[in-house]
Chain A
């Protein structure tokens, strides 16, 4: 069965430092891959998605993610974190034939220190 693992429940970084959030998936074939952000009191907002092609994907708010097929990973990165990036981040996967079967990771909560 497909699954998504976000190994880090909570990460704290200093403002201005770089960030990497990990995501690993288990799937029969390469799925569609997504990162969502949930700010406090808000719904989920799509940061970026990978369907095919270039394995380095650029998203909104300065985020990028790299798909590594050999490692079944889709890690999210940002070179310099801002205090407004404090939020919860969810990795999600969906099969190519049915976006309804989207699976979410448990989430990683990001705290940004001044």
Chain B
């Protein structure tokens, strides 16, 4: 079956540091890939998405590129802020059906 694996956290960074959160997936065919974010006390929000190979999703300074050859969708940001502290979830779906999520990565940014 389909699955998503993301790097374990927590990831602790200083403000303005570079962020990478690794995500790899297993799926048949060509899934759509997503990053969702969960801020403290809030619900899941879509951060960015990519629907086909080599697509780059971007939002709020975050980027991720759909790499079919490595089955990866790593999340990056050039300069993190304290307000980026949250839990980040990588997910996939096929045919617009159910989402399959990774376990989540806690990001803590210190000032």
Asked if A and B are interacting partners, one says: no
Measuring CB to CB, which residues of chain B are less than 8 angstroms from any residue of chain A? none
